Structure 1
């Protein structure tokens, strides 16, 4: 009878590391971490290790929560030399309920989404362009034959029709209207160039002649002003000596006792006419007309006072 030997089976590995070793460092507090640095999902408790800055599982949640033994480098980094983190088996106090942590995580997510939606786009500076001058400020620049020749040469280098390489369906060579217009303009400017040069020389001579005459007349104008300057200075001194408010020109004095409208009406009934401004009187209307009396704004003025007003305001009798 043959005997069979059973193959040894590996023992089931523990889901989480269980050890009685506890780090002597002071325990961490879950409430001191940010909401995004701790995960309290049941069965998947993790925390962001402040020493090695790696996500580390938490074991012994129902008893003494501690950080599982871990290295300072992530587990998928095989190139680095593994080194035990100082927070291995360090205790952590879970003073936050799972429901409270979830509510805070939802609020943070909503706030982050709203802030991202409110974030303004980047403002690009608007380029500062030069202001366009008005039509009255534009200064036309005269064309020269050399400028038109350069433009015509550039057009010939880029245009196939001007070089005779453009043909239609029937094989006939096409003509370029732009090239013809530039050629006509160039020939016209070449013909007009002697006349234009003569006009420019004429204006240059006139300008030089005007400058010479102006330079000769400058001393005379200065001498004339030097002769008049003493009279102007004496007139200014006389004007300063006149008291303010005094009468500067000859003329009738303004009457201080003017006749009231009622008195003027009584005089008119008696056959006498009185000037509204100076108080001069005439015995009859014929004498007033002969003396040049006028009616200004429905009031009588003698000829001397009426001359102070414009002609359109004077209404003769």
Structure 2
């Protein structure tokens, strides 16, 4: 008969470890661990056990630092049978200074935060929505009595009020406004259907008549266009022959050698330029323009007198 060996269980852990036993496993070197795998804060020395990967306190800091006896599972895990870890009482060599460990831990934390900020966020695809047609592009669909009847029958199958199953507190059946509206619309379209059919037939006849007349008048229209086509082509050739900026052949010439009577009256004659304000004179128009003379209300004024008037009233010769 086979013997059944009981599974070994760990003894109850003491509150304080008072043992001189040291594990035969090689010592753990603190300098070979990452900064986030060990905690050298005074009074809170912990390290991640290389065997069970649990945070384990370090005892004997002033003498021989070792890992305290611990289980292979966290202390709060009550689902499995606790077993003692083989790295219990394992020595650890604390060859890392406290300041150097803190600096390395801070640097790793900052680098991790920077890397996390550089990671791209998940791009969610934008849902494709069809463009809404403009109001001018909408084509109204005329209602038919048959279409409304089908909608009314479908509503009756789904509506409890139309079936008579919906009642109020007193037990009376509740009316259905949607069913009533559909029924009224169906009756109205059913009564108007003969008139609508007559209108549709009238429009169809008029369309066919218009198509016949348009096809009959096509030869006359083409003949009229053929008659005026040479004149249009000749006008296009004359228009292309006119140089850019020149006058058209059909328009009269502009009289450039003489001025209009109104402009001639306003233009002073040579040797008769006299300021209306101070009486100063100029021998010629060229000298007056060079001296800054202007016209104010169509009267010549010298440059000094013209400065007394607003700029918008002064007109150069």
TM-score w.r.t. the length of structure 1 is 0.52
Q: Structure 1: which 5+ runs fail to align?
A: 1-11, 116-121, 268-297, 299-317
State the Cα distance separating 1:148 from its structure 2 match. 2.2
The question of whether the paired residues in 2 share the 8 Å contact of 1:167 and 1:173 is answered with: yes
Match of 1:258 in 2: 259
- Kindly tell me the number of residue pairs found equivalent between the two proteins: 241
The question of whether the paired residues in 1 share the 8 Å contact of 2:17 and 2:68 is answered with: no
Q: Counterparts of 2:180 and 2:198 in 1: how far apart (Å)?
A: 28
For the pair 1:23 / 2:29, whether they are aligned, the reply is: no
Q: Counterparts of 2:126 and 2:152 in 1: how far apart (Å)?
A: 37
The question of whether the paired residues in 2 share the 8 Å contact of 1:23 and 1:91 is answered with: no
1:37 to 1:222, Cα distance in 2 relative to 1, 3 A: farther
Output aligned runs, 1:91-240, within 5 Å.
91-96=93-98, 139-159=139-159, 162-163=162-163, 178-218=178-218, 220-240=220-240
Q: Structure 2: which 5+ runs fail to align?
A: 1-13, 117-121, 269-297, 299-317
Describe the SS at the equivalent of 1:93. coil
State the Cα distance separating 1:262 from its structure 2 match. 8.9
State the Cα distance separating 1:266 from its structure 2 match. 11
State the Cα distance separating 1:200 from its structure 2 match. 1.5
Q: Counterparts of 1:225 and 1:129 in 2: how far apart (Å)?
A: 49
1:17 to 1:257, Cα distance in 2 relative to 1, 3 A: farther
Q: Counterparts of 1:172 and 1:57 in 2: how far apart (Å)?
A: 77
State the Cα distance separating 1:128 from its structure 2 match. 7.5
Describe the SS at the equivalent of 1:57. strand
The question of whether the paired residues in 2 share the 8 Å contact of 1:17 and 1:59 is answered with: no
1:174 to 1:246, Cα distance in 2 relative to 1, 3 A: closer
The question of whether the paired residues in 2 share the 8 Å contact of 1:46 and 1:57 is answered with: yes
Q: Deviations 1:9-38 (Å, cap 9, x if unpaired)?
A: xxx98436643857277x3328x633x533
The question of whether the paired residues in 2 share the 8 Å contact of 1:156 and 1:162 is answered with: yes
Q: Deviations 1:95-139 (Å, cap 9, x if unpaired)?
A: 1069x959x89xx7xxx9xx9xxxxxx999997877777766655
TM-score w.r.t. the length of structure 2 is 0.52
User: Which stretch has the larger CA shift, 46-55 or 200-209?
Assistant: 46-55
State the Cα distance separating 1:47 from its structure 2 match. 0.9
Match of 1:89 in 2: 91
State the Cα distance separating 1:62 from its structure 2 match. 1.5
Q: Counterparts of 1:23 and 1:176 in 2: how far apart (Å)?
A: 86
The question of whether the paired residues in 1 share the 8 Å contact of 2:58 and 2:66 is answered with: yes
Match of 1:53 in 2: 53
Q: Counterparts of 2:166 and 2:63 in 1: how far apart (Å)?
A: 93
Q: Counterparts of 2:158 and 2:38 in 1: how far apart (Å)?
A: 70
Match of 1:309 in 2: none
The question of whether the paired residues in 1 share the 8 Å contact of 2:27 and 2:90 is answered with: no
Match of 1:243 in 2: 243
Q: Deviations 1:168-202 (Å, cap 9, x if unpaired)?
A: 78877676565444333322222221221121122
State the Cα distance separating 1:93 from its structure 2 match. 1.7
Describe the SS at the equivalent of 2:98. coil
The question of whether the paired residues in 2 share the 8 Å contact of 1:161 and 1:175 is answered with: yes
Q: Counterparts of 1:168 and 1:175 in 2: how far apart (Å)?
A: 10
1:142 to 1:28, Cα distance in 2 relative to 1, 3 A: same
